């Protein structure tokens, strides 16, 4: 297919359009749109892994975002690990708004540990870390990042008991009546103990990635396409999308690039130092 068509598909996907909508708007077959997503998402995943390195954040915020693949967990009768409820774990630089690390999977200690291992490999220096009250973070951070973090958890209190197996309301949040910071180790700055930026980033994910838009038919039918879609979103968010806070892309604000990228550059980026466009995809 023509490179210009692939660019159009990616632009529509990154603006929150679903696969069927992109197919209608471009006149391309749905499988062709999925093929573009898989190719672009795979390239973006490798690009992010190679490029988001040696980041120097002052404060990092971590949270999880709910979605599902194929069916709700209650209908996952075969207990397929790659179907049912899934979570996007995000680690965000509070200043530049750069998504430093992300993991997709079940909300369990295994994936919490994967996130901390990945974060450690991308941030070599000392930083302050704030997470929500998810209990496995305590052990995972202690095991992996104790020497290089000042770690605190922000525990929120709600007016009504939470819903759901994991203790949160997924569709209409109860009124938050308070938040208690708990210092787990180190000496975190109280002014930086916050999850506000990562929670706002969760909203951005739901707005610009159709697979996370709740109460629609846009949910992922296969786990692999959820991975590709998330990688494409993160790469676009970091390198193409200008953040309203500082008027730059998060990658610019973090010093990873000197300009806001185009979608064409993003699609052709093999590494940070070689974003040379080609004419095929």
Predicted pLDDT at 162: 54
Residue 249 lies in a domain: yes
Residue 137 lies in a domain: yes
Residue 134 lies in a domain: yes
Residue 9 lies in a domain: yes
Q: Which two tokens mark 147?
A: 């020497």
Residue 273 lies in a domain: no
Nearest to 212 by CA among 66, 78, 44: 66
Q: Which residues contact 182 (CB under 8 A, 6 or more apart)?
A: 152, 153, 154, 155
Q: How far apart are CA 154 and CA 137, in angstroms?
A: 12
Phi and psi at residue 109, to the nearest 5°: -65, -30
Nearest to 151 by CA among 60, 55, 53: 60
- Which stretches in the chain have pLDDT values below 70? 161-173, 270-281
Predicted pLDDT at 163: 54
Instruction: Tell me the CATH number at 45.
Output: 3.30.420.10
Residue 182 lies in a domain: yes
Predicted pLDDT at 1: 79
The pLDDT tens digits for 75-99 are 999 999 999 999 999 999 999 999 9
Number of domains the chain contains: 1
Contact between 34 and 63 (Cβ < 8 Å): no
Residue 53 lies in a domain: yes
Classify the phi-psi angles of 149: left when phi > 0, otherwise alpha if psi is within -120 to 50, otherwise beta. Answer: beta
Residue 276 lies in a domain: no
Domain of 136, in residue numbers: 3-268
Q: How far apart are CA 62 and CA 99, in angstroms?
A: 10
């Amino acid at each position: 297919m023509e490179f210009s068509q692939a660019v159009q598909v990616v632009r529509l996907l990154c603006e929150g359009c679903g696969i069927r909508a992109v197919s209608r708007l471009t006149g391309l077959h749905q499988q062709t749109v999925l093929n573009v997503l898989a190719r672009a998402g795979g390239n973006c995943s490798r690009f992010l892994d190679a490029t988001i390195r040696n980041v120097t954040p002052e404060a990092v915020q971590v949270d999880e975002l709910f979605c599902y693949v194929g069916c709700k967990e209650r209908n996952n009768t075969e207990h397929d690990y790659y179907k049912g409820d899934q979570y996007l774990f995000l680690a965000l630089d509070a200043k530049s708004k750069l998504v430093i690390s992300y993991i997709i999977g079940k909300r369990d200690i295994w994936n919490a540990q994967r996130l901390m291992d990945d974060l450690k490999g991308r941030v070599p220096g000392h930083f302050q870390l704030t997470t929500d009250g998810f209990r496995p973070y305590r052990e995972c951070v202690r095991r992996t990042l104790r020497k290089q973090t000042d770690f605190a958890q922000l525990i929120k209190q709600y007016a009504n008991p939470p819903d759901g197996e994991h203790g949160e309301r997924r569709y209409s949040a109860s009124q938050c009546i308070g938040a208690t910071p708990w210092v787990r180790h180190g000496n975190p700055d109280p002014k930086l103990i916050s999850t506000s930026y990562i929670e706002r980033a969760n909203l951005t994910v739901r707005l610009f990635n159709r697979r996370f838009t709740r109460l629609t038919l846009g949910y992922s039918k296969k786990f692999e396409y959820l991975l590709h879609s998330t990688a494409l979103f993160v790469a676009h968010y970091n390198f193409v999308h200008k953040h309203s806070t500082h008027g730059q892309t998060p990658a610019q604000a973090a010093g990873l690039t000197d300009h806001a990228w185009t979608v064409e550059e993003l699609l052709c980026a093999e590494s940070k130092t070689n974003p040379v466009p080609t004419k095929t995809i």
